[in-house]
Amino acid sequence: MSEKSIFSKIIDREIPAEIEHEDEHCIVIHDIDKQAPVHLLIIPKTPVPRISESTDEQQMLLGHLLRVAAEVSQKLDLEEGFRVVINNGRHGCESIPHLHVHLLGGRQLDWPPG
């Protein structure tokens, strides 16, 4: 059995986190290494290693993560805009093999991002 990811430990309440939202499918936490005034992580409770390894059966879950991003952005008054980011693989700067969506906002974001 592989070791649980830090996100699984947060979901299981083994590691504390500042939770912004939680439902049966995901948890939304504040990133401890903020890259913008608002930087949240939307994490599915069912571990998916990375977006490139997602399956057709996970379509509803993936869509739910984006809908939660939209709902949380409204709650946090990000009416000027926000960005959602999913890192995939080494060149995509993936650091934890548990899919998560970054929600960034609260300031003008630069383009291109990387």
First to last CA, the chain: 35
Q: How do beta strands 38-44 and 19-22 pair?
A: unpaired
Residue of 39, 98, 100, 102 marked catalytic: 100
Q: What is the full DSSP assignment across 3-18?
A: PPPHHHHHHTTSS---
CA angle 58, 62, 66 (to 5 degrees): 165
Catalytic-residue membership of 100: yes
**Residue type (1 letter), 73:** S
Residues belonging to the active site: 100
